[in-house]
Amino acid sequence: DGAKEGAKKEGGEVDEQELAAHHMPDLIEQNKPMFKPGESGGSAAEATPAAAGKDAKAASGDGAAVASSASSSTAQSTADTAVQQVKEDAAKAKPTLSGSKDKKDDTVYYDCFDLKIVYERNRTGFEETKDYPIEINGVIAGRYQILEFLGAAAFSKAVQCVDLTDGSYVCIKIIKNNKDFFDQSLDEIKILKYMNAHDTRDEHHLLQLYDYFYFKEHLFIVTELLRDNLYEFSKFNRESGAECYFTLPRLQKIMKECLRGLKFVHKLGLIHCDLKPENVLIRSYSRCEIKIIDFGSSCFVTDHLTSYVQSRSYRAPEVILGLSYDHQMDMWSLGCILAELWTGRVLFQNDSLATLLARVVGILGEIDEDMMNRGRYTHRFFTKNKIIYDRLADDERSLVYILPKKTTLKHRLGTDDELFIDFVEKLLRVDPAKRSSAATALEHPWLSKQY
């Protein structure tokens, strides 16, 4: 009762859900979504820096809250005091109507979610090797039976499994036993939970997260099972000699679904940061449906942004030159993907960032002088006379000038379809301020053209 009194708002009732979510996460229903649709920050706990340092503790396990005192009455008293103190500190941090309009709100919001840790009974989690062994028909954590090895990436392996509890097929990403990979994957879980909670009907062509847990020194992420990625399927389609799958009508549908997904992601304040054909998977071949995956490199626009983002062939000019960037970088990557699916070739073929910039200049024209002047890394690729240069791989002291080969986007696309060319050109505007956003691209007439 004391805790409830501490959680009462002036003139209002006790918000027991908020109280529990903030101070006793172990008592909350385990499968309750972390975020609620319609809330800007999700089901975030609110606290000031002062409150964050208070000694209110909660521990998950058998569902029992553990306090520092051995006495349950002392523990309850400590929790009641902490709850009241957090409420008072948070109230103090809120801006007052009588204060200046420019007064800064220093309130800090926190999101939290539980990580399930699975052990084999009467065993510790210690493993002799760093790699999780992939054994066909082996069972992960007593629940997921491995059916097929799907592939490997820089910091993970993917397997197709059947969930023994209901017979459904899933994809499991097994994260390599490495602290940095683990941290990055926790970010991906947070972002997937955030997006899925706002996309409860699964309408925005984004990967669905089913489960995640820690087992035998590895983090496992369980998602829906999809088909080939666009890169692998495009390669197979060309090499098999079959009829071309990526016709303009199908590319229209793929672009519509990608744009709807990106529009949704960007509206949530997120940037994908690594769009490429490998990260767009086919959901249905016959209906030409896709989903965007791999949010391991994604970030919020409010994050401290790094310049090491995007796979090189799909990296936007503003990122390469060291300018500030936002969701428009995803639109550049999408333009590169579209051109590649249509022609079967990487649009800006390169073996370094300097040669990539030379391709961009050769196909799209000179980079705006203002962008060049503002770029923190412009000097790494351009001389004072704006000539592109590169360093020789076998001799860092030797420089070579690169003269861009002049051509046109129309020539590279190999088509006379003016609406299609215009659509691609607007996605590939070098200046991100002039580039189509996901919302404006969805209104482009090419997407509604009948073929």
Please give the backbone phi and psi of residue 405, each rounded to the nearest 5 degrees, phi first: -85, 115
β-pairing, 45-47 vs 395-402, is unpaired
Three-class secondary structure of residue 397 per DSSP: strand
161 three-class SS: strand
DSSP string of 213-247, one letter each residue: EEETTEEEEEEE----BHHHHHHHHHHHTPPPS--
Angle value at C-alpha 183, between 113 and 138, nearest 5 degrees: 85
> Which of 198, 306, 308, 290 has the alpha carbon at shortest distance from 252?
290
In angstroms, the CA 414 to CA 404 distance is 20
Distances (CA, A) of 135 to 13, 138, 139, 145: 55, 5, 8, 9
Question: What is the homologous superfamily of the domain 228-448 according to CATH?
Answer: Transferase(Phosphotransferase) domain 1 (1.10.510.10)
pLDDT tens string for the chain (451 positions)? 444 444 444 444 445 455 344 433 443 344 444 444 444 344 444 443 333 343 433 333 333 333 333 444 444 555 455 545 545 554 544 444 344 455 667 788 898 999 999 999 999 888 888 889 999 999 999 999 999 999 998 899 999 999 999 999 999 999 999 999 999 999 999 999 999 999 999 999 999 999 999 999 999 999 999 999 999 999 999 999 999 999 999 999 999 999 999 999 999 999 999 999 999 999 999 999 999 999 999 999 999 777 788 999 999 999 999 999 999 999 999 999 999 999 999 999 999 999 999 999 999 999 999 999 999 999 999 999 999 999 887 777 789 999 999 999 999 999 999 999 999 999 999 999 999 999 999 999 999 999 9
User: Strand 270-271 to strand 280-284: parallel, antiparallel, or no bridges (unpaired)?
Assistant: unpaired
- Determine whether 274 is an active site residue: yes
pLDDT of residue 154: 85
CB 278 within 8 A of CB 230: yes
Catalytic residue, candidates 274, 294, 330, 390: 274
H-assigned helices in 223-364? 230-240, 248-267, 317-320, 328-343, 353-364
The β-bridge partners of 51 are none
Does domain 116-224 sit in CATH 3.30.420.10?
no
Tell me where in the chain the CATH 3.30.200.20 domain(s) lie. 116-224
* Residue spans in the chain of domains classed CATH 1.10.510.10: 228-448
The pLDDT of residue 290 is: 98
